[in-house]
Amino acid sequence: MDYWFTIEPYVYFNVVNGKSLLYNTLDGAVIESDSIEVALLLQKIRIKENCGVVKLSNECSQKGDLKEFISEVRKKYMGDLIAVNLSKWKPVQVMPIFNYISNNTVELYKKHSITPYKNILNNLTDIYIHLNKNVDIEYLVLFLQSLPENLIINIIGNFDSVPKLDFLWDFLNASSAPKNIICSLEEFVLLNPVYKRNFYYRILVDNFVDVKLFNTSVLYLSQQLLSFEYIFNVTSIEECNKAEEIISQYGIQNCCINPIYTGENILFFEKYVYLSKEDILSTKISVKDIFSNQSINVYDFGKIHIMPNGDAYANVNHPILGNIYRDSIYEIVQKELDEGKSWFRIRNEAPCHNCLYQWLCPSPSDCEIQIGRSNLCFIK
Ligand code: SF4
């Protein structure tokens, strides 16, 4: 009897240099194989005309490597063998293949004279406003008024030196958009209490924590029932341990540890930050996550930073997109979509483009740019 062989639609698979990987997005189960027969079978399934199903003779399905592979696939609910005589015609299978931004789509837009940029500002989700003493608050507020409603507004900086700051707080206070203040511990303590209630706080804590200041902030946040998150910036394992001590001592629920590259702590990164195969596969990854990794940079997409002099960036490590004194938000976003390096920075370059885990790996982060490597792992 011959069989139809197929992989389930929730199973992501990849074949590179004769090696194969299958990942079950429902329960995180993995199958890896070095067998050429398995690689050829999976490649055949991927051919468009096969519609996700290939015919296997009984003899073929019982051969060494394939027999073992098919048995594991069935045991892990990742695919199936179906007797050919059970179906009148060849069945088809949906596969998790990303083809959203293909040349065909752009051609289709052109053919029907539809601009792919029709709702360009729908791509924008977050604005980061960087403040210092040179910022023109009145112009900045005018710019904020020109943005689509309900973008997330993030305010970052050294507030104490900013002229006419209350003008900005008044505007933000009246706005219904979600608002975050990203500031150091010192800045937080100095903020005007009148405005403190309407913001979500992301408080940056650097290594040598001033315990008195930290106590004051914890006390204040809990008494005032404010929404907040502490971000512990760490540059070594000692700082990391210290941050964990503080987190457990104060029972802090909302927090994260953020490794910072200083130019001199590559050993810390190699030992504690670089990804291993186990790190990648131990994180639950959905089909949607895999599609996101294939299409956009999940850290940068939708975000625009405005510097105190009006310069606009999608990522401050990449070239400037425009200036709010000269360009509209529409022009800034369009420039990123057309020529930008940030929103679509994905793992499509060496060595990641030739890696079995290419789309299971999270998007490249700023650490990759700062360290000057496109992969922070020892897998490649
Ligand atoms: S080479 Fe790239 S894709 Fe592969 S594991 Fe390393 S970082 Fe991830």
- For the chain, what is the HEC assignment? CCEEEEECCCEEEEEECCEEEEEECCCCCEEEECCHHHHHHHHHHHCHHHCCEEEECHHHHCCHHHHHHHHHHHHCCCEEEEEHHHCCCCCCCCCCCCCCCCHHHHHHHHHCCCCCCCCHHHHCCEEEEEECCCCCHHHHHHHHHCCCCCCEEEEEECHHHCCCHHHHHHHHHHCCCCEEEEEEHHHHHHCCCCCHHHCEEEEEECCCCCHHHHHHHHHHHHHHCCEEEEEEEECCHHHHHHHHHHHHHHCCCCEEEEECCCCCCHHHHHHHHCECHHHHHHCCCCHHHHHHHHHCCCCCCCEEEECCCCEEECCCCCCCCEECCCCCHHHHHHHHHHHCCCCCCCCCCCCHHHCCCCCCCCCCCHHHHHHCCCCCECCC
Determine the pLDDT at residue 235. Answer: 95
Determine the atom of ligand 1 nearest the C-alpha atom of 359. 3
What are the pocket residues of ligand 1 if the criterion is a CB atom closer than 6 Å to any ligand atom? 275, 347, 351-352, 355, 357-358, 361, 375, 377, 379-380
The residue among 310 and 222 whose pLDDT is bigger is 310
Determine the pLDDT at residue 223. Answer: 79
Determine the atom of ligand 1 nearest the C-alpha atom of 277. 5
Residue 248 contacts residue 239 (beta carbons within 8 Å):
no
Nearest to 305 by CA among 43, 72, 126, 88: 126
For all residues of the chain together, what is the average pLDDT? 90
Average pLDDT in the 144-166 region?
Answer: 89
Q: Kindly give the interhelix angle for 165-174 and 137-145, rounded to the nearest 10 degrees.
A: 20
pLDDT of residue 347 exceeding 70, the answer is yes
pTM attached to this predicted model: 0.90
Indicate the top mutation candidate among 355, 356, 359, 360 to test ligand 1's pocket, ranked by most ligand atoms within 8 A of CB: 355
Indicate the top mutation candidate among 32, 290, 352 to test ligand 1's pocket, ranked by most ligand atoms within 8 A of CB: 352
11 alpha carbon to ligand 1 midpoint, in Å? 20
User: Which domains, ranges and CATH numbers included, belong to the chain?
Assistant: 2-100 (3.90.930), 107-371 (no CATH)
335 pLDDT band, cuts 50/70/90, is very high
User: Token pair for residue 258?
Assistant: 């953020």
Q: Whose CA is nearest to atom 1 of ligand 1?
A: 352
Determine the atom of ligand 1 nearest the C-alpha atom of 280. 5
- pLDDT tens-digit profile of 53-71? 999 998 888 888 999 999 9
257 alpha carbon to ligand 1 midpoint, in Å? 22
Torsion of CA 277, 283, 288, 292, to 10 degrees: -60
Percent of the residues in the chain that have a pLDDT greater than 70, as a whole number? 92
Determine the atom of ligand 1 nearest the C-alpha atom of 361. 8
379 alpha carbon to ligand 1 midpoint, in Å? 6
77 alpha carbon to ligand 1 midpoint, in Å? 27
Average pLDDT in the 349-365 region?
Answer: 96
195 alpha carbon to ligand 1 midpoint, in Å? 44
User: Token pair for residue 127?
Assistant: 């604005």
pLDDT of residue 193 exceeding 70, the answer is no
Q: What is the CA radius of gyration of the chain?
A: 26
Residue 332 burial (C-beta neighbours within 10 Å; 0-12, 13-18, 19+): buried
Which region among 1-10, 138-147, 225-234 has the lowest average model confidence (pLDDT)? 225-234
1 alpha carbon to ligand 1 midpoint, in Å? 42
Determine the pLDDT at residue 1. Answer: 84
Q: Whose CA is nearest to atom 6 of ligand 1?
A: 377
Beta partners for 279?
Answer: none
Distance separating the N- and C-terminal Cα atoms of the chain: 43
286 alpha carbon to ligand 1 midpoint, in Å? 18
- pLDDT tens-digit profile of 205-239? 987 677 888 888 888 887 777 889 999 999 999 99
189 alpha carbon to ligand 1 midpoint, in Å? 41
Determine the pLDDT at residue 196. Answer: 66
107 pLDDT band, cuts 50/70/90, is low
Determine the pLDDT at residue 95. Answer: 87
Q: What is the C-alpha separation between 92 and 78, in angstroms, rounded? A: 16
The residue among 320 and 108 whose pLDDT is bigger is 320
- pLDDT tens-digit profile of 251-297? 899 999 999 999 999 999 999 999 999 999 999 999 999 999 999 99
- pLDDT tens-digit profile of 82-97? 999 998 899 999 988 8
Which region among 36-45, 115-124, 332-341, 349-358 has the lowest average model confidence (pLDDT)? 115-124
pLDDT of residue 350 exceeding 70, the answer is yes
159 pLDDT band, cuts 50/70/90, is confident
Residue 28 phi/psi, 5-degree rounding, is 80, 5
Q: What is the C-alpha separation between 351 and 17, in angstroms, rounded? A: 13
Average pLDDT in the 3-32 region?
Answer: 96
Determine the atom of ligand 1 nearest the C-alpha atom of 364. 7
Q: What is the C-alpha separation between 272 and 146, in angstroms, rounded? A: 43
281 alpha carbon to ligand 1 midpoint, in Å? 12
247 alpha carbon to ligand 1 midpoint, in Å? 31
Determine the pLDDT at residue 293. Answer: 95
358 alpha carbon to ligand 1 midpoint, in Å? 6
Indicate the top mutation candidate among 23, 347, 371 to test ligand 1's pocket, ranked by most ligand atoms within 8 A of CB: 347
Percent of the residues in the chain that have a pLDDT greater than 90, as a whole number? 70
- pLDDT tens-digit profile of 120-140? 898 899 999 999 999 999 999
Which region among 1-5, 38-42, 183-187, 206-210 has the lowest average model confidence (pLDDT)? 206-210
Determine the pLDDT at residue 47. Answer: 92
Q: Whose CA is nearest to atom 7 of ligand 1?
A: 375
| Residue-wise burial string across 252-278, b where 16 or more C-beta atoms lie within 10 A, e elsewhere | beebeeebbbeeebeebbeeebbbeee
